[in-house]
């Protein structure tokens, strides 16, 4: 399960797959993912990492 909201906090996405088992046990059904969203990925981490590395580089150059 993923959040429909974009990841602005820079935290990794939490993805859970929930499989439902039949309660009556009459037959086996293949498990199907419940509430999965494959359209949204955690791509917000890459730009923030690049910005942090750039700031670190600028800080180190300014100290020299």
pLDDT score, position 58: 92
pLDDT score, position 52: 87
DSSP H or E stretch at residue 46: helix 45-63
Burial environment of residue 13 by CB neighbours within 10 A (0 to 12, 13 to 18, 19 or more) = middle
pTM of the entire predicted model: 0.31
Domain ranges for the chain: 1-64
Q: What is the pLDDT of residues 7-21, one digit of tens each?
A: 555 566 667 777 666
* Banded pLDDT at 61 (limits 50, 70, 90): very high
């Amino acid at each position: 399960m993923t959040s429909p909201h974009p990841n602005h906090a820079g935290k990794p996405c939490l993805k859970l797959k929930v499989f439902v088992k039949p309660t009556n046990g009459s037959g086996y059904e293949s498990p199907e993912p419940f509430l999965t969203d494959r359209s949204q990925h955690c791509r917000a981490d890459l730009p923030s990492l690049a910005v942090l590395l750039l700031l670190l580089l600028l800080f180190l150059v300014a100290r020299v």
